[in-house]
């Protein structure tokens, strides 16, 4: 086979591996954003963080709707806010680091650390 065509196929394989690995690290990130509290489950999002921060200072009970559309009363909103911010920070930092890492690699073997 022409050397240039071989190189083109190698690039295609590299692109397919890179695209697939991006999907996987995104799913790893999504799973790290799952947060359990008081029998309920949340996916931590910037929206959730902003909403809880807004509601936190009000002198009322904080009722949230979880990932399964079940209502839950958060007994300690400030602790909840701290926990979700910390978890969001850690997960986002790790995702960012993984993303930079695979983006900088130019060989399939390097993308998955063979």
Partner 1 sequence: MSKGIVIFAQNNSSIDYIKLSIFAAKQAQHYLDLPVSLVTDSLTWLNTTYLDHPFDQVIEVHEIAYKQKKAFFDGALSSKSLEWKNFARYQAYALSPYDTTLVIDSDFIINSSVLKSAFDRDADLQIYSQSMDLAHERSADEFNRINDRGIPFYWATAFIFKKNPMMESFFDLISYIRTNWDYYKMLYNIDASLFRNDYAFSIAIHILNSKMDGNFTVELPGKMIYTRDKDVLVEMHNGTMQFLMEKKNYNGEYIIAKTTNLDVHVMNKFSLSRFIDGGSGV
Pairing of strands 71-74, 62-65: antiparallel
Residue 76 binding partner 1, by CB under 8 A: no
Residue 27 binding partner 1, by CB under 8 A: yes
Q: How far is the CB of 29 from partner 1 (least distance, A)?
A: 11
Give the angle subtended at the CA of 28 by the CAs of 22 and 32, to the nearest 5°: 145
CA atoms lying within 13 Å on the CB side of residue 48: 22
| Interacting residues with partner 1 (CB under 8 A) | 13, 16-17, 19-21, 23-25, 27-28, 30-31, 34, 36, 39-41, 67-70, 98, 108, 111-114
């Amino acid at each position: 086979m022409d050397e240039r065509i071989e190189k083109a196929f190698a690039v295609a394989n590299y692109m397919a591996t890179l695209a697939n690995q991006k999907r996987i690290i995104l799913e790893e990130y999504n799973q790290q954003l799952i947060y359990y509290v008081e029998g309920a489950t949340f996916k931590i999002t910037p929206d959730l963080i902003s909403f809880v921060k807004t509601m936190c200072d009000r002198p009322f009970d904080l009722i949230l709707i979880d990932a399964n559309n079940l209502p839950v009363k958060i007994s300690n909103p400030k602790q909840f806010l701290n926990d979700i911010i910390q978890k969001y920070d850690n997960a986002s930092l790790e995702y960012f680091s993984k993303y930079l890492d695979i983006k900088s690699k130019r060989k399939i073997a390097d993308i998955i650390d063979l």
